């Protein structure tokens, strides 16, 4: 199945998150063998990307707390070579970052040609949390949609393929995951009071996400809304779409830098 037909937000169209079932699997059943085959192909393509060095892949993961950004990275990228893959988690900006424009720290983390870069949260926080919590005036964050589109277009035109995934979970599933996390000593350290308090702003975040998905899903960097109540399905969708994006690059190994036919080993 081509998951992209179901998940992609067509440029200019509304996301309508309330009409998208976070528990949907598009009629697909869990198949661990098929998923492992996809992950093997991803490992092969990452090796090709690293050797080719004509392109880079940037994966943007956005979603509410407990949507599974960390879990997606652990599973989908479980077998790639860390030498050619880097994860950047964007937390509260430092004083140095605040002294620059909001895209400065983002651009510094864009992957080099030949690499995969993964953003755990991203520049979209500047039209999400900044909007919901009124961290900047309305006239400031409203201009950022255009600025983000221009920034992503520049990256695209310079060899960076951008995959943007919104991990779509239900309010009930988030509550279930929070409760499960609270009971697990290996994971409850991840909980924070602000994470729990953000549930009070569920509807405001829905409005903010829908605007970002509509205004910043472009031909060069479309958004994908991934049903994420089922972790296995979330991972399968993202792995398949990542493989599809790498396949589309038509990667190839470069020619040897020496004439191998003339090399003689003593």
Task: Give the residue-averaged pLDDT of 182-204.
Answer: 86
Residue 263's pLDDT is 84
Task: Give the residue-averaged pLDDT of 158-170.
Answer: 98
Residue 121 has pLDDT above 80, yes or no: yes
The percentage of the chain sitting over the pLDDT mark of 90, rounded to a whole number, equals 88
Residue 192 has pLDDT above 90, yes or no: no
Which carries the bigger pLDDT value, residue 93 or residue 257?
Answer: 93
Residue 11's pLDDT is 94
Which of 71-80, 124-133, 154-163, 250-259 has the least mean pLDDT?
Answer: 250-259
Residue 210 has pLDDT above 80, yes or no: yes
Nearest to 159 by CA among 62, 249, 79, 34: 249
Task: Give the residue-averaged pLDDT of 149-174.
Answer: 98
What are the structural domain ranges in the chain?
Answer: 4-252
Contacts of 131 (CB under 8 A, 6+ apart): 141, 208
Residue 260's pLDDT is 81
Residue 139 has pLDDT above 90, yes or no: yes
CATH match of 4-252 with 3.40.50.300: yes
Tell me the per-residue pLDDT of 20-55, one tens digit each, with 9 for 90 and over.
999 999 999 999 999 999 999 999 999 999 999 999
Distance from C-alpha of 113 to C-alpha of 190, rounded to nearest angstrom = 33
Supply the mean pLDDT for the chain.
95
Residue 257's pLDDT is 83
Task: Give the residue-averaged pLDDT of 84-107.
Answer: 96
Which of 77-81, 156-160, 187-191 has the least mean pLDDT?
Answer: 187-191
């Amino acid at each position: 199945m081509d998951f992209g037909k179901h998940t992609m937000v067509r440029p200019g169209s509304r996301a309508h998150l309330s009409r998208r079932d976070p528990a949907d699997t598009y009629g697909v059943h869990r198949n661990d063998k098929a998923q492992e085959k996809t992950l093997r192909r991803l490992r092969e393509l990452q090796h090709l990307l690293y050797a080719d060095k004509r392109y880079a892949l940037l994966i943007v993961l956005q979603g509410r707390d407990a949507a599974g950004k960390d879990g997606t990275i652990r599973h989908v990228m479980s077998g790639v070579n860390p030498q050619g893959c880097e994860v950047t988690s964007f937390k509260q900006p430092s004083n140095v970052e605040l002294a620059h424009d909001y895209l400065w720290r983002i651009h510094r983390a864009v992957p080099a040609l030949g690499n995969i870069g993964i953003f755990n949260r991203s520049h979209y926080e500047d039209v999400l949390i900044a909007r919901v919590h009124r961290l900047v005036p309305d006239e400031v964050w409203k201009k950022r949609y255009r600025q983000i589109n221009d920034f992503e277009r520049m990256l695209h035109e310079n060899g960076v393929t951008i995959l943007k995934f919104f991990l779509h979970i239900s309010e009930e599933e988030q509550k279930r995951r929070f409760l499960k996390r609270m009971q697990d000593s290996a994971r409850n350290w991840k909980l924070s009071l602000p994470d729990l308090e953000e549930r009070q702003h569920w509807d405001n975040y829905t409005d903010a996400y829908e605007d970002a998905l509509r205004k910043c899903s472009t031909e060069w960097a479309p958004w994908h809304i991934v049903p994420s109540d089922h972790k296995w399905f979330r991972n399968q969708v993202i792995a398949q779409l990542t493989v599809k994006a790498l396949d589309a690059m038509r990667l190839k190994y470069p020619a040897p830098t020496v004439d191998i036919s003339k090399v003689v080993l003593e």
